[in-house]
Structures are given as structure tokens and as C-alpha cells.
Structure 1
């Protein structure tokens, strides 16, 4: 049974499909549930959870300030995983450089 954490970050994204490709295909998250019509997905990786919401200027979303790329400045996410090597390999194959 899927259990939601008490605190889950929700990240605004410009393209949900490409963001899901990164989070699911590269990082190994699973889609716990989604509302494609709202551009929303709730992801889980062994209890590490994050929500993704596609920016939609017509949806009445609450934004504290204008969104300027790169989004997420000032936030760091730590995710415990069983093995990091396969994730690094997938990131490399997808063209995402590590910092």
C-alpha cells in the first residue's frame, strides 16, 4: 500500500513529460499517481517522494514570484538509493553531467 510522506516537495516544471523521463527513466522513481489533465505527477522511490507540476499560466497556480530558469535555485534534495552506480550510468547515457 502506498503511503504519502508528511512533507513532500512540489517542483514546478516546464514540461512534465521530459521531467518524468528524467525522474523515472534516469533516477528510477515510480509514478505513484498522476493527473495528466492537470500536468501533475506524484513520484516515489522507496519512500523518497516528490511532486511535479507543469507550469500553466491559465491554471491559476500560486507562484510566489516570476519563474526564471534555472528553477530550484537554493534547494538541494538528498535521496537515499540502494545503488548509485546504475543511476550515474543512466544520467551519463542521457547526457546529464554531474556536478
Structure 2
């Protein structure tokens, strides 16, 4: 289970306090609903598995300090491109069963 933030901000532009607030608030809600603390964090917009700049790396360092394992991505599934759930679900299910 993972934390992807509460308000989906670009973490590269946030202060350290704002990064902590996003992660802590979202983590508490996830834990309250599921009974489990999220262990993973993938930053919105900067989920790259190989961040190249300090502003992209800084939120990941904070997440690590809070006990998260940071999950980056190597392949963009472009699941954000389609907004109609009826089109997303069949497409994603077909890919996952292959």
C-alpha cells in the first residue's frame, strides 16, 4: 500500500514542512481507513526512478526519514491520459493479465 499525497502537488516546489504535512496527513488517513500504515511513497509528477536534480530528490529524502520506501517508475502507463473509468478498467485489466 502506498502514499501518493493528499492534494497531488508537485513536491519539487514544496518546503520540507509542506512535504512532511502531505505525507503525514495522507498516511494517517490511509491508516485510519485500512488499519495499515502505508509503506511506499511515489511522488506525483516526480515519480522518476532516477531523479536528476536536488529539488526532485529532496521530497524522497524526507519520505525516507518518515519511514517510507520511495517507489519510482520506469514505464509510464499513461493511465492518467484517459479520464473515462469504463475505458480505463478494461484496458488495464487486459494488460495485467498478459
Q: TM-score, normalised by structure 2?
A: 0.28
Between structures 1 and 2, the one with greater helix share: 2
Bigger proportion of residues as strand: 1
